[in-house]
Amino acid sequence: MDVIAFFLMKLIDVYIWVIIISAILSWLIAFNVINTHNRFVATVVDTLWRLTEPALRPIRGFLPNLGGIDISPVILIILLLTLQYMLARYFLTPSSQVIGY
């Protein structure tokens, strides 16, 4: 069970980085730093959107309209960190816990 919990925690780490990269990329596109007419950029943006949007959409449904500010990635990261903590707390044995979890 320790291996599965550790794998899930690492998978959550990777997904948190995908969310962060997606948010930063959306800011760069909004401020016209990156041009989406470039095929590579369009492919990366589409891939990140497909990875993050299914998790962010339900959160956006609960949040009130804050104008142009989207805090759903922050809420999702907090939820994922909570899940990661719960995995570390309840499924890893004390001898197999990794520093930071």
pLDDT in tens, 65-101: 888 888 999 999 999 999 999 988 888 766 555 555 5
Q: Return the amino acid letter for 82.
A: T
Run of H or E including 13: helix 2-30
Tokens representing 42 are 């369009």
* pTM of the full structure: 0.85
**Closest C-alpha to 19, from 97, 96, 88, 81:** 81
CB 16 within 8 A of CB 80: yes
Residue 97 amino acid letter:
Q
CB distance 35 to 41 below 8 Å: yes
